[in-house]
Amino acid sequence: MVTSRWTAASAQASSPRRRGAVLERAILEAALEQLGTVGWNGLTMEGVAARAQTGKAAVYRRWPSKEDLVADALQAGLPDLTEAPDLGSVREDLLELCRRAREAMFSPSGFALRSVLHECDVTQAERFNGVILGGVIEPTMRLLREVIHRGIGRGEVRPDAANQYVFDAIPAMMMYRSKVCGSEWSDQDLQEMIDSLMIPLLRGGAV
């Protein structure tokens, strides 16, 4: 404990003084790094402070608990999923959207989130499940709807394809293959899923 306090204080003294968003970003990045190396059970606010080269008080002023800090760190580390791809065809749009979802799932934040879920108790896991729901699954579903409705407007997709079963297909496949089968979804895997499953589904008969 004495060594840890000395390390944090020494790091703080030797680092340039940072404030506001710059310091917060450094703390969030340090939390992600700590999750990747020591996991949820090994992560401490003091360890994060030392990694971020700041004082523990600076961490606690912003995040009163480890759960609060980790939830924000995971959310901040996820790739942006706010704008739907528009590459000229529903196939190319779906491929690009799947690549973005894959990036989110296998980003440092995505890996950290999965490791956290394995170590947390039920109550904590529910909170972090909300991070992946709100940060990956729901944004992907929203963009997927936009891509399919645009395909309908282009005449590439049958009008009745805009239903929840179709919208669920890609997220369900990606989550199942990554969680149950351990697949990291190569570009070839994504192309085969789009060409063998989604394109026939979007252009075929009623679902």
Same domain, 55 and 116: no
CATH number at residue 16: 1.10.10.60
Same domain, 135 and 164: yes
On average, the pLDDT of the chain sits at: 84
Same domain, 111 and 10: no
Same domain, 26 and 91: no
The pLDDT value given to residue 138 = 86
Residues 99-118 have a mean pLDDT of: 79
- 72: in domain: no
Alpha-helical regions (H) of the chain: 2-14, 20-42, 45-52, 56-62, 66-77, 90-105, 108-119, 122-132, 138-154, 164-179, 187-193, 199-203
**Domain range for 31:** 2-65
Same domain, 43 and 96: no
Q: Mind spelling out the 3-state secondary structure of 8-60?
A: HHHHHHHCCCCCHHHHHHHHHHHHHHHHHHHHHHHCCHHHHHHHHCCCHHHHH
Share of the chain above pLDDT 70, in %: 87
Same domain, 113 and 15: no
- Of 44, 65, 86, the residue that ends a domain is 65
Same domain, 86 and 173: yes
Same domain, 61 and 102: no
135: burial class by Cβ within 10 Å (0-12, 13-18, 19+)? buried
104, 81 contact by CB (below 8 A): yes
Same domain, 129 and 181: yes
- Of 21, 44, 65, the residue that ends a domain is 65
CATH number at residue 112: 1.10.357.10
pLDDT tier for residue 17 given thresholds of 50, 70 and 90: low
Same domain, 100 and 159: yes
Q: Tally the domains of the chain.
A: 2
Quote the CA–CA distance of 104 and 135 in Å, as a whole number. 9
Quote the CA–CA distance of 119 and 125 in Å, as a whole number. 8
* Statement: residue 11 has pLDDT above 80: no
Same domain, 55 and 92: no
What are the pLDDT digits (tens) for 140-165?
889 999 999 999 999 999 999 999 99
Same domain, 171 and 105: yes
